[in-house]
Amino acid sequence: MVLDLHTHWKALVVPIALIPVTAGLGSFVAAEIPDGSAQAPVRYAILVVCLLILAWFSLIPYLRWRTTHYVVTNRRIVHRTGVLARSGRDIPLNRVNDVSFQHTFFERLLRCGTLTIESAGERGQVVLSDVPKVEQVQRTVYELVQDETRRDDDEQATAR
C-alpha cells in the first residue's frame, strides 16, 4: 500500500460548525418557552428536532467521509465508498492511460482537488473528488503507472 486517503477534511467543516449552532439555537428556543408542565412536550419536540438535524447534517456526512477511501497500491487504485451499502472500484495500474488533476483557487489554497484517472477498461474513467494533496497523489500514481509499465515490458522481454 502506497497511499490510503479519505476525502479532504473540508467536507467536515460545515457539519462540525453546525453542531454548536444547532445546540445553541435549540437551547435558546427551549429556554424561551415558559415553565409549566404543558410545555414539557414542546421542549422534547425541540430536542428531537435538534437531534434529527444533527444526525442528518452532521453525523451522516461524517460517516460518509469516514467510509470513503482512496487507496493506491503498487498494483492498483482502489476506491471504496458507502456507509450502509458499499460500492467500490479497482483499477489495475497497467490499465491506466492518463492521470490528471484539477482544482479551483480555493481548493489550491487547501491543497486538494479532483483526480481523474482514465483507464482502458470498459467503464472509462474514474473521478475522485476532494483528494487531499492532489498534485502529489497525481505524481505518485503516474510514477507507479510508469513502474508497472516497465515491469510489464521486462516480463515480456524475458518471456521471449
Residue type, 130: D
Confidence of residue 37 (pLDDT cuts 50, 70, 90): low
Residue 130 region, left (φ>0) first, then alpha (ψ -120 to 50), else beta? left
pLDDT at position 4 is 94
> What is the pTM (predicted TM-score) of this model?
0.82
CA 145 to each of CA 19, 33, 36: distance values in angstroms, whole numbers, following the listed order:
43, 64, 70
pLDDT at position 36 over 80: no
Q: Grid coordinates standing for 54?
A: 444533527
pLDDT at position 100 is 95
pLDDT at position 48 is 96
Q: How far apart are CA 82 and CA 63, in angstroms?
A: 9
- List, for residues 73-118, the tens digit of each pLDDT value: 999 999 999 999 999 999 999 999 999 999 999 999 999 999 999 9
Residue of 134, 77, 76 lying closest to 103 (CA atoms) = 134
